[in-house]
Structure 1
Amino acid sequence: MSRLIVISNRVSAATGGATGAQGGLSVALTSALRESGGLWFGWSGNVTEEFSGQISFHREDGVTTATVDLEEQDVEEYYNGYANRTLWPLFHYRVDLAEYRRGFADGYQRTNERFAETVFPLIEPDDMVWVQDYHMIPLGQELRKRGCDNRIGFFLHTPWPPRRLLLTLPEASDLVATLFAYDVIGFHTDEWLQSFVEFVVFESGGVYEDGILKLEGRQIRLIICPIGIDSDEFATLATGKTAQQTFRQMRESANGRAMIVGVDRLDYSKGLEERFLGYERFLVESPEERKEVFLLQIAPPSRGTVESYKRIRSTLEGLSGRINGAHADLDWVPIRYVNQGYPRAVLAGVYRAARIALVTPIRDGMNLVAKEFVAAQDPEDPGVLILSRFAGAAVQLTEALLINPYSAEEMADAIRTALAMPKAERIRRWQAMFEVVCQQDVLWWRVRFTDALTQGHGT
């Protein structure tokens, strides 16, 4: 088989001894790299005074990683700037938070050129290259400029915004045009794919037919390829020693109350403020039930140097304090708000102990927490998933209680429905979702994309 070269902003190869602490993407890509004898390339996370292109190689458990350090200016303009202050909010429909600065765009382009210049000598003629996510949209074009004629694929892990929103980005058409250097582009859902097609067709004069998008003599194959989790591995984690210990700890801590759980990176796209307000609406409208439940919200901080992330953290701290101050009693606090992350084995135990999961992003490319919650449940007594209809996962997990996260009333109603749901209905809904999670897992996602990349070659 062809060797696989994975290129992403950060490298996170899973090792045999620490798989339980790794994300599903890492597990899937590591497996593919091990099978093909491939290479994972990206930023080391370290800063250097002057970019040299020096590569640090590391090989462990059959997987080779190659990383480079970036200059402080690169990190500020490429990563903190264009990636996380321009593209991330825009791709999640938050035009009000997007910052459009020429320096950000220049740094984004310069850093992608540096990535291409560094990784190109490592690519052999028969290699298959798979670029990950919005950090590296122009990378394929930069590799082509340097003479790379390998099959190159791109997968977008975020939503793709509607045409009118994307037009707020300066030189949006130029950025989109760089994607035609790829042979295959994968999206989580048809909605994101169709938004991309609409922009190219109506703004650039492209033609779309039979899954092939053509523009000015070039073409790319577009596929819907929703990412999954390693369902077998996560279900096993949920019955392991660490998870069971956590399960008992959470049940004892709950003291007979039903636990509602939310697990999200601290990010405005996750709908945490709306979630707290929806939960508060439930507390106000259901005085007879409110002391029978509590919300555990786990929200590890991220991107702390970006001002919008500082604001969301401050807002949530204030909101949780106000709700607890208004509704708590001597023996009960309605919200347990925790700003730290936990290993996956611990989270599996938390999910299994929860009666309800609130997964309510205002916009999300997929959302793997929803799938992890399903995989972790006890088949004899599963919990209920309340899921935003604006998450990519809602397309697959149709037996969840789907809600509009902007509506506090809908969220409060869904919490009441979930608490009252008979066991037979909970089992039926869970079985349907678990079947999807198992059938379209992370290995299915990886094979589906690499098969398409093997077969489809743009011209």
Structure 2
Amino acid sequence: MAAPDMIECVPKHRELMKSMLEYDLLGFQTNRDLNNFLACLRTHFGLASKDGVVATERGQTRLQRFPIGIDPKQFADYLAADLSPAEQEKISLLLKNFEGSKFAIGVDRLHYTKGIDKRAEAFNHLLAAEPGSISLLQIAPSSRADVEEYQKYKEDVENAINHVNAEHGTDGWRPIHYTNDSFSQAALARLYRAAHVSVVTPLRDGMNLVAKEYVAAQDPKNPGVLILSKFAGAAEDFNEDEALLVDPNHPEEIADAISKAANMPLEERVKRWGSMMDKIESYTIHDWPADYLRELDKSRVTVPADQFHHLGLGWTNEAHMPLYHNYTAALTAYNDIDPAAAALKEAAYADVKSAFEALAVPLKHTQDRLWDLPVPTASRDGTRGPELGAREE
């Protein structure tokens, strides 16, 4: 989610934010995105939040962070899965380029937010200081190739990579191997495991699951090291004792991290990897939707079958009917009074009517029609039930 000054670049941004507030629960990948959205609401609508809740005429919208995960068990299955003969040959040919040497891997869409050009510049710095120390496998499937700006970025990336290869390559060694091919998850899992370092350095990213996939694919006895942009959503999950966090706008910082990762002792690598893997396994892709739905259920009110006819279509959400429980409590109290106690029955009916009217006030601002109540009928004891007639605005 963009900051207030950036959201204005999005066409119909006000309509977009208004439509988001039609929901009872909004989930964001990162705290940064959540806070940006709150800042946008303050700036563009003058709306404030309290405890992660924004109140509008429609009702209440809760905002919460739900960081998406992966399925680590599935990634283990990928590593054991058979590849097609063509893909197996493709992977084998790629890995032959790195036999007997260390290499880092980058897997990104060819998109200007991914910082691939800065990554190439980082390798230029690193290899100037440590010639031949490590190479890079950069996988970057094309993104929106028909858009001129993306074509220009593709040229910039290729020029940066060609410069590094020309400057630091030898007859028998190429610093950066670059491909726009796509790979299956099973093939990527093998490449992740073979790579000594993963360089995930987007300039800005919602989450970047490549970081988590790389960790899940590692050999527990000899894991690689994750280098991660501070501005990737995954950086909110992994701290500095786990991943090597860098500013992707500074190639020299990335270069230092690659050097540190390539020379990191096994004991430290295992410790960092184990901590990240614990987090990945404790909150998987399966926990993500379950957590969201669990939170969404907290916004709902359970309506007994014998009360359902009192509600109009759609009004089963507690955020829209915060006073529903008051009404049902008053109605229960009314029904529990002995019909012979006429004065008590009349006073209780007044409470029911008052609770109903309080309940109706916020509803009539959000929906033209409230609900239709059944036509009052005599009860078995001959008295009439509460006459809270149908109302339409």
Structure-2-length-normalised TM-score:
0.72
Q: Is the 8 A contact 1:263 1:369 kept in 2?
A: yes
Partner of 2:293: 450
SS in 2 for 1:357: strand
Distance in 1 between the 2:202 and 2:141 partners? 15
Question: Is 1:185 paired with 2:21?
Answer: no
Question: Is 1:421 paired with 2:239?
Answer: no
How far residue 253 of structure 1 moved from its aligned partner, in angstroms, is 3.3
Unaligned runs of 5+ in 1: 1-159
Distance in 2 between the 1:249 and 1:322 partners? 24
Q: Is the 8 A contact 1:245 1:349 kept in 2?
A: no
Residues 171, 249 of structure 1: alpha-carbon distance in 2 compared, 3 angstrom cutoff: closer
Distance in 2 between the 1:280 and 1:273 partners? 11
Task: List aligned pairs for 1:29-428, cutoff 5 A.
Answer: 160-169=1-10, 171-242=12-83, 251-287=95-131, 291-398=132-239, 399-428=242-271
How far residue 189 of structure 1 moved from its aligned partner, in angstroms, is 1.1
Q: Which moved more, 1:434-443 or 1:234-243?
A: 234-243
How far residue 248 of structure 1 moved from its aligned partner, in angstroms, is 6.5
SS in 1 for 2:254: helix
Show CA shifts across 1:127-162 (max 9, x none). xxxxxxxxxxxxxxxxxxxxxxxxxxxxxxxxx111
How far residue 171 of structure 1 moved from its aligned partner, in angstroms, is 4.4
Show CA shifts across 1:319-359 (max 9, x none). 21122112110100001000111000000000000000000
Q: 1:437 aligns with which of 263, 280, 294?
A: 280
Letter of the 1:262 counterpart: G
SS in 2 for 1:342: coil
Unaligned runs of 5+ in 2: 300-316, 321-393
SS in 2 for 1:358: strand
SS in 2 for 1:302: coil
Residues 190, 331 of structure 1: alpha-carbon distance in 2 compared, 3 angstrom cutoff: same
Q: Which moved more, 1:335-344 or 1:310-319?
A: 310-319
How far residue 284 of structure 1 moved from its aligned partner, in angstroms, is 1.1
Number of aligned pairs? 297
Distance in 2 between the 1:327 and 1:202 partners? 50
Q: Is the 8 A contact 2:106 2:139 kept in 1?
A: yes
Distance in 2 between the 1:348 and 1:421 partners? 22
SS in 2 for 1:361: coil
Residues 292, 239 of structure 1: alpha-carbon distance in 2 compared, 3 angstrom cutoff: farther
SS in 1 for 2:20: helix
How far residue 218 of structure 1 moved from its aligned partner, in angstroms, is 2.9
Letter of the 1:351 counterpart: Y
Q: Is the 8 A contact 1:264 1:299 kept in 2?
A: yes
Letter of the 2:219 counterpart: D
Q: Is the 8 A contact 1:361 1:390 kept in 2?
A: yes
How far residue 251 of structure 1 moved from its aligned partner, in angstroms, is 5.0
How far residue 212 of structure 1 moved from its aligned partner, in angstroms, is 1.3
Q: Which moved more, 1:345-354 or 1:247-256?
A: 247-256
Distance in 1 between the 2:251 and 2:264 partners? 20
SS in 2 for 1:186: strand
Distance in 1 between the 2:58 and 2:280 partners? 39
Letter of the 1:296 counterpart: L
CA RMSD of aligned residues (A): 1.9
Distance in 1 between the 2:79 and 2:27 partners? 30
Q: Is the 8 A contact 1:183 1:220 kept in 2?
A: yes
Q: Which moved more, 1:343-352 or 1:433-442?
A: 433-442
How far residue 299 of structure 1 moved from its aligned partner, in angstroms, is 0.4
Distance in 2 between the 1:242 and 1:356 partners? 23
More strand by share: 1
Show CA shifts across 1:294-332 (max 9, x none). 100000012112222111111112221122112110100
Residues 168, 302 of structure 1: alpha-carbon distance in 2 compared, 3 angstrom cutoff: closer
Distance in 2 between the 1:367 and 1:306 partners? 23
Q: Is the 8 A contact 2:104 2:134 kept in 1?
A: yes
Show CA shifts across 1:31-73 (max 9, x none). xxxxxxxxxxxxxxxxxxxxxxxxxxxxxxxxxxxxxxxxxxx
Distance in 1 between the 2:158 and 2:297 partners? 49
Residues 194, 265 of structure 1: alpha-carbon distance in 2 compared, 3 angstrom cutoff: same
Show CA shifts across 1:75-103 (max 9, x none). xxxxxxxxxxxxxxxxxxxxxxxxxxxxx
Q: Is the 8 A contact 2:105 2:136 kept in 1?
A: yes
The percent identity for this pair of structures is 38
Letter of the 1:303 counterpart: R
Distance in 2 between the 1:250 and 1:169 partners? 41
Distance in 2 between the 1:280 and 1:378 partners? 29
Letter of the 1:284 counterpart: A
Distance in 1 between the 2:223 and 2:120 partners? 24
SS in 2 for 1:273: helix
Q: Is the 8 A contact 2:34 2:63 kept in 1?
A: yes
